[in-house]
Structure 1
Amino acid sequence: MGRPFAVSTLSQAANGRTLPSLAVTRAYVLACGGSMETAVGLWRRANIAASSAPERLSSQGLLRPGPSATASEFVARLRALRKVSGLSFREIEHRAKHRDVLGSVLPRSSVSDMLSQERLPRYDILMNFVAICLEECIARGHLAPEFERSVRHEWATAWRSLTDRLEQATDQTVAEDTVPAPRTSGTTPGSVYGQIPAIPAFPPRPAPEQIPQSAPPPTRQPRRPRWKFWALPPAPAEA
């Protein structure tokens, strides 16, 4: 018994708009009790008819990033790529787990956020998503295998180019915001509510008056000592 498929996958296989994968076709026929040999033969004929002009389909830009000028346009191209592949979020998550690539885990919530937000995704998430969608496009016959590598390279180049342009625009905006605006006479830079009138400067403080200095006080003479010295009489000479 094959692995189970989501209800949305079986619903897409039954609407007749896109060619389901061979595994989904086998599971659908097995569940409905149809002829497996007839179903596989019809699928192969439809696959050959769908792959008759893969180069024309890819040249129309359905699988390529195209000249995306903004992040929203780039994400719109990713949504178009998933629509052409016909994969659901659950299928993308399942295939990412079984890819023999380091760090290829791709939760369905990350894929949903990437395709719903208007900003550039991370490079690793982008390239895993593109690789899974292109592999399914090759299996459905929408893309020839020899074009897969070049289409992957176009997605990587478009992501790097758009990232550089957005970073340059952000740096220029920050630089313009940091340059002070020229001051007009009578006004000072104000807040968001407008210009604030300039406060007049205080007048200069007057210089202190020069007080003439008087003559220096007379120097004090040192006082004479009060004691006196008397000369003693010489000692009598010995006989």
Structure 2
Amino acid sequence: MSAERVPLTRDRIVQSALGLARNEGLAGVSMRKLAQELGVEAMSLYHHVPNKRALLILMADRSLATLPPSDPNLPWTDRLVKLLDGIFHAGVENPAMISVLASQQLDPTELEASEFSALTLIESVLAILSESGLAVEQRVHVYNTLINLVYGFVLARTQGLALSPTKIAAMDRGRGSGSWESFPALGELLPALDAADPAVDLRFSLGLYVEALAGLLARGN
């Protein structure tokens, strides 16, 4: 007797897509490959998810829904750093999430069953910035800068895109030279640079950025 066929649901589709993204990166997620993973025809997916963009939003929703709520008793600067740090860690687990936020391709009319966690999160970031007293144009600059900063650190962690000193050293040895005498500043920091954690670097960068914002506001913009 054949095994009972597991019903195809939106939840199964999203869960399988998240697995593909973790194993092959966001570029590895396609409706065709997803159908193969689930053992169904590609057209059957469209009864549950209208298109790949909708799928990415649903994937983002799944991760964003796990973020802890913001503590209203904290200063806006602390809440902003904690929220963005949470986005980073969720983005490392699910690259679709940070891609959706960075592209800002969100339309509430496209997904009737979505909880719109991505839209809610964007609203949360912008609501915190609205408390800062920054002008509208400044908030736009700050939002775009911070989201792309987080996006860059997610890429550094998940795809190893940063050119680390170890990679530089390997290239240097490939040229027949292993000496750092010509690069004393780099040589001095080499061990610490190789041991650097993108998550720690991000928190440091966010701290500097929001501190600069607070200083800007204190000077009256």
Q: What TM-score do the two structures reach when normalised by structure 1?
A: 0.28
Structure with the larger helix share: 2
Q: What TM-score do the two structures reach when normalised by structure 2?
A: 0.30
